[in-house]
Structure 1
Amino acid sequence: MERDSHPNHSQKSGLRKAGNWCVAHPIALVCAYVVVVSLFFLAFPGIDLKVSNLFFFGEAGFAAQNEPFLRDVRHLGPFLVKVIAVVCVLILVIKLVVPGRPPILPLRKPVFLLTTLILGPGILVNAILKDNWGRPRPRSVEEFGGDLPFQPVWKMTDYCDKNCSFVSGEASASIWLVSVAFLVPASWRRAVLAFVLPLCLILSANRVAFGGHFFSDTLISWGLTFLLILIVYHLLYIKEPPLFTDRGLDEWFTVKGRKLQRLVRRLLVRSRRSLRGAVRIFSDR
């Protein structure tokens, strides 16, 4: 009996060590994910066509895009992203306008969210990849009624000039919502992930069903965006010393806010003087 249980014990021990390594090295794990997924779709590019074909209905095309409910669902992700971004900007602006008061939240939180949003979905996905790799969207390729040839992942072409298929911007924005879970109290994280992860899957699958992106566009977009989130989180919260501290940001915004107040006061004084001068000129006439 002891001999029979030994292999199971070794297997459990190996799985435990692998799990611990993954937890200790999340950035390396996500890098490996991006590489493996990329290599898989480069080796089997036809998988993209087969997945998209599940949602293609001949003359009706990608019929899901004509469903009002699914179109409404598509707007939910961008709406949530905008709400979070606006709240983060307001927190920073309020600190600048009222520099003497403590911030509503520790300032690393809005800085983390805005930085990852700008660098991930904004610059990396939309400005660099989507506008330069030139991969046609599924609804534009010959296999689905379009006039452009299908292109595999990571292949730069000139078949699409801007806002192309590789990678998915909405998949990137939806997985970015996971960054909120990094900042909430530990007791809230499961609830946040229980809401965000299914939403991410629905929004990303929606784009594939609409013929807007290939399956690989979504999977790689998730990996690249989450990788950037992990890197920024490491720089702001794990690295010793961190790139910025809450106290350092508070002091910086306090100094800049007071400078802004002095500038506004000077401008108001000049405006009043100019207004008085104009009133005197007209009164003399």
Structure 2
Amino acid sequence: MSSNKLSQSNAVLPLKTAGPDAGEPRSYKEAIWREKWTILVPLTLLAAFTAACYLLPIDQICSRFYYIDGHYGWAGEHWFTEDLCYYLSPIPGVVLGIAAIVVLAVGRWSPELAARKPVARFILFVVLAGPLLLVNGLIKPAIGRPRPNQLAEFGAYKPKNVHYVAPWQLSKVDGKSFPSGHASMGFLWMAPAFLYWRRNRWAVAGWMTVGVLFGAGIGFFRIAVGAHFLSDIVWSCGIVYFSGLAMYLALGGWRDGAFQAQLPDEVNENTAARDAAAQGPQSEAQAA
């Protein structure tokens, strides 16, 4: 077995690594340039959707579908699954965040966990940067967008005469609707996809699908209860996606084997095997 195959077989996080002629980026700038379409295409779609929300009543139409005139309020308020979804929605962030902290904290005493520190560091940074810092820490308080159940057109009267505010438009109402914090936690299941980015397309597609479906499911219930607009959910997805992509680039995930950590003993064995393979031809040449 060659040293390359031995290295891949002993990997803690098995990934499909590209060959030496695959045009892998050699610098941070080259890595960003290679991801230009994964940056520009989603950003263009988000910009187009946001512009449509300014020109068309997309958010109001979507929310009005779940609003019942009179004392019935919002349809989602009468679904028992809404409460269940509300309390279960933070689970992805809690599970991923705590698991990453445990690996980083205990890794100094456990070689098995220490080998997974690059993965844990990436996951923790995505959790902190996306839902916690950007969504709940910075954007929500700064924008102050009123929620659907605060609007006068949906029967709200406290505070008085509150009207629709488009996404990214500043508001003096303390609504904190934009973006959705609960949905952003659901979209966190997209984060592991970047551990396989450009190395295993099926793993990337699988984690992306799980994350989008989980976050969209939470967003559906948040819209049905009048707590968020459709654009709140869409931008939560976008923020988590770009947080994962930014951490992938910043932490050097584009480097070959960046998340392919190995146990110390296995590293020594592989190094010895490579040295033996390199010395073999040399000794044969000297003998000749």
Partner residue, 2:40: 28
Cα distance change of structure 1 residues 93 and 165 upon mapping to structure 2, 3 Å threshold: same
Is residue 156 from structure 1 mapped to residue 170 from structure 2 by the alignment? Answer: yes
Q: Quick check: 1:166–1:217 contact (8 Å CA) kept in 2?
A: yes
Partner residue, 2:156: 146
**Structure 1 counterpart SS, 2:67:** coil
Q: Rg larger in 1 or in 2? A: 1
| Structure 1 residues 46-85: aligned runs within 5 Å | 46-58=57-69, 59-85=71-97
Partner residue, 2:227: 212
**Structure 2 counterpart SS, 1:157:** coil
CA distance in 2, matches of 1:227, 1:180: 13
Partner residue, 2:268: none
Is residue 103 from structure 1 mapped to residue 118 from structure 2 by the alignment? Answer: no
Partner residue, 2:243: 228
**Structure 1 counterpart SS, 2:236:** helix
Q: Could you tell which deviates more after superposition, 216-225 or 114-123?
A: 216-225
Q: Could you tell which deviates more after superposition, 86-95 or 197-206?
A: 197-206
Q: Could you tell which deviates more after superposition, 183-192 or 29-38?
A: 183-192
CA distance in 1, matches of 2:36, 2:215: 25
Task: Please report how far the alpha carbon of residue 140 of structure 1 lies from its aligned counterpart in structure 2 after TM superposition.
Answer: 0.7
CA distance in 1, matches of 2:53, 2:98: 37
Deviations 1:219-265 (A, max 9, x none): 122112211211111222445699x8887xx9xxxxxxxxxxxxxxx
Task: Please report how far the alpha carbon of residue 23 of structure 1 lies from its aligned counterpart in structure 2 after TM superposition.
Answer: 7.2
CA distance in 2, matches of 1:124, 1:173: 12
CA distance in 2, matches of 1:214, 1:22: 34
Task: Please report how far the alpha carbon of residue 194 of structure 1 lies from its aligned counterpart in structure 2 after TM superposition.
Answer: 4.7
CA distance in 2, matches of 1:223, 1:22: 19
Amino acid at match of 2:165: Q
- Name the count of aligned residue pairs: 222
CA distance in 1, matches of 2:143, 2:36: 33
Cα distance change of structure 1 residues 234 and 39 upon mapping to structure 2, 3 Å threshold: same
CA distance in 1, matches of 2:42, 2:253: 17
Partner residue, 1:115: 125
CA distance in 2, matches of 1:176, 1:74: 16
Task: Please report how far the alpha carbon of residue 76 of structure 1 lies from its aligned counterpart in structure 2 after TM superposition.
Answer: 2.5
User: Percent identical across equivalent pairs?
Assistant: 22
Q: Quick check: 2:59–2:231 contact (8 Å CA) kept in 1?
A: yes
Amino acid at match of 2:125: T
Amino acid at match of 1:82: V
CA distance in 2, matches of 1:104, 1:22: 30
**Which of 147, 170, 181 lines up with 2:182 in the alignment?**
170
Q: Quick check: 1:88–1:111 contact (8 Å CA) kept in 2?
A: yes
**Structure 2 counterpart SS, 1:172:** helix
Higher helix proportion: 1
Amino acid at match of 1:152: A
Task: Please report how far the alpha carbon of residue 192 of structure 1 lies from its aligned counterpart in structure 2 after TM superposition.
Answer: 3.9
Task: Please report how far the alpha carbon of residue 75 of structure 1 lies from its aligned counterpart in structure 2 after TM superposition.
Answer: 2.5
Unaligned runs of 5+ in 2: 1-32, 265-288
CA distance in 1, matches of 2:254, 2:139: 28
Q: Quick check: 2:140–2:177 contact (8 Å CA) kept in 1?
A: yes
**Structure 1 counterpart SS, 2:153:** helix
Amino acid at match of 1:95: G
CA distance in 2, matches of 1:24, 1:77: 32
Amino acid at match of 1:231: A
CA distance in 2, matches of 1:22, 1:152: 33
Deviations 1:197-219 (A, max 9, x none): 32222111111111110111111
Q: Could you tell which deviates more after superposition, 131-140 or 229-238?
A: 229-238
Task: Please report how far the alpha carbon of residue 195 of structure 1 lies from its aligned counterpart in structure 2 after TM superposition.
Answer: 3.6
CA distance in 2, matches of 1:24, 1:135: 31
Cα distance change of structure 1 residues 159 and 201 upon mapping to structure 2, 3 Å threshold: same
Cα distance change of structure 1 residues 22 and 222 upon mapping to structure 2, 3 Å threshold: farther
**Structure 1 counterpart SS, 2:243:** helix
Q: TM-score, normalised by structure 2?
A: 0.68
